[in-house]
Structure 1
Amino acid sequence: MVSESYSVCVYCSASAGDQAALDLATAVGAEIGRRGWQLVSGGGHVSMMGAVATAARAAGANTVGVIPKKLVHREMADVESDELIVTDSMRERKQIMEDRADAFLTLPGGIGTLEELFETWTGAYLGVHEKPVVVLDPGGHYRGLFAWIDELREKGFVGRQALDTVVLTAELSEAFAALNPVS
């Protein structure tokens, strides 16, 4: 088991109501806690974001929520977080989340989740950080996106090295193996 200081930032939806998505978020939070890791999240207590944080805490994980002032009420700030950081902007939120994380896990989400994934992925590719970037997609939520990215690779717009900096998997166990600091 790794100490609590190993932190995984989870990017996911703050609006999905789909039960399968909520169940996935719950399973991810429980696994973070089971491993003794710390969760860094967007600081909301709604949808998948709330489910992952609640499950992580229930499994014994320390949770750090980072939320901009403008979203405190909209995403119902997770006041149960062990540490809740309220920022002035989305840019500050993302920077703190990146700084506090040792690895990044993306679950299904919308444009905000995509933006976080792409920024983190680009940072890994450019060598800004050497932290694992993993996408857990058991339901095929990102199938079209990665098919398009593969087309971009075929046309020369995306190199193999960029694709090698992200792990895409449908399996929870494979995602956590890729996040694992020992691997």
Structure 2
Amino acid sequence: MKRKRLKYPFFVIIGPSGSGKTSVAEAVFPAEFKVISHTTRPIRKEEKDGIDYYFETKEQFKKLVDTDALAENDQYHGYQYGVGIEELIRKTTSHFAYDVLTIDGFQQIERQFGNKVIPIFFKVSKKNILARLQTREDDNETVKERSALYDVEAQNIEKVITYPNHCIINADQPFETVIDELKSVIMARNLLLD
């Protein structure tokens, strides 16, 4: 099936769990610029369906996969995630858009939509990851699992740098500095691809 082209860039934020990528992205991008992913993960008390994610049953998610409605789908921590093609195209019709995805999710979308899909990797030290995870997670088992993932997720930088429009952001810097750096990257890449 032939995919439509994206009119404006789609920025994909990638990085190890605990790198601050979601918090920084939410501070930089307007809420309406987020491409909302589908997931089978249970909704958390502070989340809203249709704003944070489209929360799906396993059966609903399977139907999305079976009908080729997703530009990508991936599994993370035992739950399915996926970006809808219609949502992606609609969100990039009048302005750029973004989402926080895995490297595999980025690669699936980039294969379909090409250089308008721009990877931005948040590089961060393991020391800072552990400190952040211990601050935000109550469950020691979750901290252990996510810190074990760090070594694998941090190596994804090697994949990201093979894409011509990639960008690496040093997420060990203070939060406001990382925000400013991401704003600069978005502005520069958006102008180049307009």
| TM-score range for the pair, normalised by the shorter chain length | 0.3 to 0.5
* Rg (Cα) greater in structure: 2
- What TM-score, normalized to structure 1? 0.45
- What TM-score, normalized to structure 2? 0.44
Higher normalized contact order (CA 8 Å, seq sep 6+, divided by chain length): 2
